[in-house]
Structure 1
Amino acid sequence: MIMRTANHEAGMCLIVLTHEHADAVLGLDDIRVVQPFSPTNDIDPTPIYLSEEAMNSIAVKFPYLVQKKLKEGQEVRRVAQLDWKIIENDCKKPFVASGLELVPLPVMHGEDYVSLGFLLAKKILSPRIHDTVQQRSTARL
């Protein structure tokens, strides 16, 4: 989920990642298109909140997105600048992002995978996943 607060004039202010499947992560590199251009990638990174499991998976699949410094001899290439922030998969441990309190909630994704939905300002924000199992997810709340 990409979020923008009222005091953020253009672009996005943060990303909250629900899970590490392709339907949620394959567009992460495209975030560079809405970030300010810098030939040296010297821009403020966009905060991205995600579980440790999702972070580990992304680090394997997209190491160039999590690499902090250029290796010797490596040229600068324009990639999304992201500030990775690990959150816990625990509804008893809300977190604050850009002044907003979010509570992670378990949401079934298919038959056997639990992704994250979020409670924000007492409204449930669920990822738009076509195979979310509504009854089981609602019962867990």
Structure 2
Amino acid sequence: MTLEEIEWNTEDQGRGADCHIVSPFDGQPTGIIFRICGPDSLAAQRAQLLFNDERVEAAEGSTGRVSAAEFESLYIRHLARLVVDLTAEETAGKRLALSTENLTKLLRVPWLRAQVDEFAGNRANFAPGGR
């Protein structure tokens, strides 16, 4: 792999790859698709820095610790920052708008968040020619 290929892949990861969410009950597609930027993209690097800053800020309280609930909220916001696009329905026939509020609502669902988290962290999903 050349430096040029590495740089191209990092840039390409910023465009994202589609994470098709499946039902945890029967494995069938839900119709929800998150386009996630790759872990080596500039957007993911910025999101990681913000996440780290927020954790430090949250820990600067009197105890110097971050509660599990606060950490989960911070992590959900982190995952939301990795989303480039969203395909989902709010109600039958009405597309759900891409917004931090809507992403946060969706990502608060544990089985859905687990799929997005696993996809986002797997570089194979963002390999050249792998999409």
TM-score normalised by the chain length of structure 2: 0.23
The structure that is helix-richer by fraction is 2
Higher relative contact order (CA 8 A, sep 6+): 2
The structure that is strand-richer by fraction is 1
TM-score normalised by the chain length of structure 1: 0.21
